[in-house]
Structure 1
Amino acid sequence: MKTKSARRARKAGKRSIELLPPGGLGLKVVFTPPWDKSAFALAALVGAALGVAGAIAAGGAQTAQAGYAAVHDLRDAPLAGAHGARSELIARIAALGSSERLQPPAPKDAAAGRPKLIIIFDDMGPNREAFRTVMNMPGPVTLSFLPYADGLQPLVDEAKRRGDEVLLHLPMEPRGTADPGPHSLRSDMRPEALFETLMWNLDRFEGYAGVNNHMGSRFTRDGQAMKRVLAALDQRGLFFVDSLTTGGSTGSSAGAAVGAEVFVRDVFLDAEPGRDAIQRQFALAEAIAVKTGYAIVICHPHAETLDMIGPWLTTAPARGFELATVASLRAGRSRTLAAKN
């Protein structure tokens, strides 16, 4: 004689259920419960399976994040740049660690004196659709073009006509296996080869005001190599923005040694994928700008970033911020030096 539970099991067959753990990056776990168990036992088993699925999802999220960071040479990059006289203050702001505690400023009546948000879009050039999206955003913004991309000059000219700032995104050697692309600067190059490679990149298009590094977590640690590069940039009247892909970068000290003008990014907007992570970096950038007068923010032309940053830039003036360029900081430095003299 068959029991009721056995009849339930035979009727159910091997029917499975799908578990979708929160934060699972789209992960779907298929689970076949023992249907002949009581309802209470089934509930306990499904709950345990969901817990296991959640753990798998968390591991998948960590793996995805690590892979993302490796591809972009950001594994060693501090999310908030700490450098020079700003380092202690920025470290304190970043240590707040909660967007609820990073409050934007009250709107001011005039743009003069407002905290500046300087937004640098890295990796521009290969993706024309991303370029068009940025061109439809409020500005001014800064676009950093990869020199090995084809057909850059019309894009550069269009951005400059719109009032945006243009940088050259100079490929540099990373640590690990990330590929910076062709004609990248390597720390093992002899001075002649280094200079020749640098010139190849600098001659790819015209109209850029400065340079920032693409990857470079290994190259920027090499003080001698950085001095050679920064001295050459300074001779051309170009400033350098250290993307700070490693906390061990020598960009600032090498620049000081050769008298080159160096700025350092404050926030990587999308070094960690995910809308919540980007939202936290929005808040951090605003807090740094309020406390120090400006924040240099670097982001990448990923769909998720572009989707979120447009509304943020649109509403920034109403929240009391000025969208600005690195050149505006350069002008401010010149006025300060003139006043001291």
Structure 2
Amino acid sequence: MFKSKEIVIITILLSILMVLTSCGTEEEEAMKPQEEPQTKIKKIDYQTKVEAIDEDVHKILKNIRLKKQKLGKDKSVTKIKKTEQYQFDWSYNTYHLQVPLFGAAGRLLSEYRTEVINKFKEQFEVVDLEWDNQQQQRLVLNIGFKAQDEFKLITHQLVFTQPHPKAKMAIIIDDFGFNRQGTQGMLSINRPLTAAVLPFRPYSEKDAKLAKAAGLEVILHQPLEPISPQANPGQGAIYTDMEEEEIKQTFLKNLNSLPKVSGINHHMGSKASADPRVMKQLLSVVKDKDLFYVDSSTSQHTVGAKIARQKNIPTKENHLFIDNVDKQQEIEKMISRLSEVALAKGELIIVGHVKKNTAQAIKKMIPELEEKGIKLVYASQIVN
């Protein structure tokens, strides 16, 4: 039997042990991380919004004259994205559009991609883009909106593609405003043409407005002094005996007589276009007005294109006149021959006149040109 003294000691030791054990347990409990209450994630389904965006996409395509039926839906997949507070559910749609190069609706994607991009940026909060012009023309637009927590949610990818033409050809039609025998024929061609309008002729302003309404590019057909004194370049002409200020003022009056033009070429001008003094004064105004210049090549000694390049003015030369012989079949043959030159060079500017036979010949030759892969364009699309 334990003595009472021993019992007391044992009791004390057990009490101490219990206290130590209790402290260790409390310390261990204190060291355990406290579990935070779970945050409930809110699920948001954006399918209705995606469908509304889809409708807006097609409206924009219609507005920029790209037909809805040409838009093929490649795929539509359901996407889920979780953040700390949200779960977003939506459908991601990919569309592919082959942009027509030829035909009445054909337009170079490189020339109106800015219009396409701006239309989508006006409508949608998020528009990311990619542009590639190597193997083909390819514009990719990633469209969407900002959801909760500023999360960028992409709902649509639009892929616009267009092959490169084998060559580009610009046809400038001289003498609008005066000879109206082929005017209606030219206006009905329904392809890019550049109308060169003479100043101060009976129908100058009217023809310029009609040409713009028909989708033609309009430039000033600036009369310049020819070598032959018997040839009359007409009102608004610039002569080599003019003072520098008179040259500039005459040219400005001609520009102001027409609706806004994008460039100029010249009428006659075998003498004046070979005069460096005259052309420097004329082209200084062209540069100030941010216009382009096409040297009509009416003289072997022309200095127009050379001076324009020195002034960093967008410029190109007329390769050849197509209707020196005013017969439809001869003009067709000339266009056919020049199409081979265009294919060899990659681009070409040629010039015709407002004549009935010229208009009919151009219409007749369009299928052949497009079959060869030659895209008719405005002069500005070559000089630039």
Query: What range describes the TM-score normalised by the shorter chain of this pair?
Result: 0.5 to 0.7
Deviation at 1:262, TM superposition (A): 1.9
Q: Aligned equivalents of 1:181 and 1:111: distance in 2?
A: 44
Deviations 1:253-303 (A, max 9, x none): 211333322211112101244456424421332012101111101001223
Please, which of 201, 213, 231 is the counterpart of residue 178 of structure 1? 231
Pick the aligned partner of 2:185 from 133, 150, 157.
133
Whichever residue aligns with residue 297 of structure 2, its letter is L
Structure with the largest fraction of helix = 1
- Distance, in Å, in 2 between the alignment partners of 1:210 and 1:127 is 21
Instruction: Provide the residue aligned with 1:155 in structure 2.
Output: 207
- The 5-angstrom pairing of residues 139-218 of structure 1 reads 139-176=191-228, 177-218=230-271
Q: Secondary structure at the match of 2:182?
A: helix
**Greater mean alpha carbon deviation, residues 231-240 or residues 126-135:** 126-135
One of 223, 227, 240 as aligned partner of 2:276: 223
Matches within 5 A, 1:256-295: 256-275=309-328, 277-295=330-348
Question: What is the letter of the counterpart of residue 186 of structure 2?
Answer: V
The match for 1:114 is 166
Q: Secondary structure of 1:267's partner?
A: coil
Structure 2: state its 5+ residue gaps. Answer: 1-160
The letter for the 2-side match of 1:168 is L
Which one of 308, 318, 333 corresponds to residue 371 of structure 2? 318
Structure 1 residue matching 2:323: 3-state secondary structure: coil
Amino acid paired to 1:307: Q
Rounded Cα–Cα distance in structure 2 between residues aligned with 1:174 and 1:294 = 29
Tell me how far 1:196 sits from its aligned partner.
1.8
> In 1, distance between residues paired with 2:223 and 2:377?
25
Deviations 1:111-152 (A, max 9, x none): 523311211110011234422111111311111111122343
AA matched with 2:223: P
Cα shift readout 1:136-176 (whole Å, capped 9, x = no counterpart) = 11311111111122343343233223322111100000011
Greater relative contact order (Cα < 8 A, sep 6+): 1
Which residue matches 1:61? none
In the alignment, the residues of structure 2 paired with residue 275 and residue 132 of structure 1 have an alpha-carbon distance, to the nearest angstrom, of: 16
Q: Does the C-alpha gap of structure 1 residues 111 and 118 become closer, same or farther in structure 2, counting only changes over 3 Å?
A: farther
Q: Give, as a single letter, the amino acid of the residue that structure 1 aligns with 2:279.
A: M
Residues 144 and 212 in structure 1, CA contact (< 8 A), matched pair in contact too: yes
Q: Alpha carbons of 1:155 and 1:111: their partners in 2 closer, same or farther (altered >3 Å)?
A: farther
Calculate the TM-score normalised by the size of structure 2: 0.54
Q: Percent identity at matched positions?
A: 26
Cα distance in 2 for residues equivalent to 1:131 and 1:230 = 29
CA distance in 1, matches of 2:363, 2:332: 13
**Pairing of 1:40-59 with structure 2 (within 5 A):** none
- Residue 124 (str. 1) matches residue 176 (str. 2): yes
Q: Distance in 1 between matches of 2:328 and 2:207?
A: 29
Tell me, in whole angstroms, the C-alpha distance in 1 between the residues paired with 2:357 and 2:208: 24
Q: Which runs of 5+ in 1 are unaligned?
A: 1-108, 334-341
140 and 179 in structure 1: CA distance in 2 versus 1, 3 angstrom threshold: same
- Alpha-carbon contact 2:321-2:351 (below 8 Å) kept: yes
Distance 1:294 1:319 in 2: 13
Take 2:205 and 2:266, find their aligned partners in 1: how far apart are those partners?
20
* Matched residue count: 223
> What whole-Å deviation, never above 9, does each CA across 1:30-87 have from its counterpart, x for those lacking one?
xxxxxxxxxxxxxxxxxxxxxxxxxxxxxxxxxxxxxxxxxxxxxxxxxxxxxxxxxx
> Are 1:231 and 1:260, in contact at CA under 8 Å, matched by a contact in 2?
no
RMSD: 2.1
Instruction: Report if the CA contact (8 A) 1:116-1:324 is conserved.
Output: yes
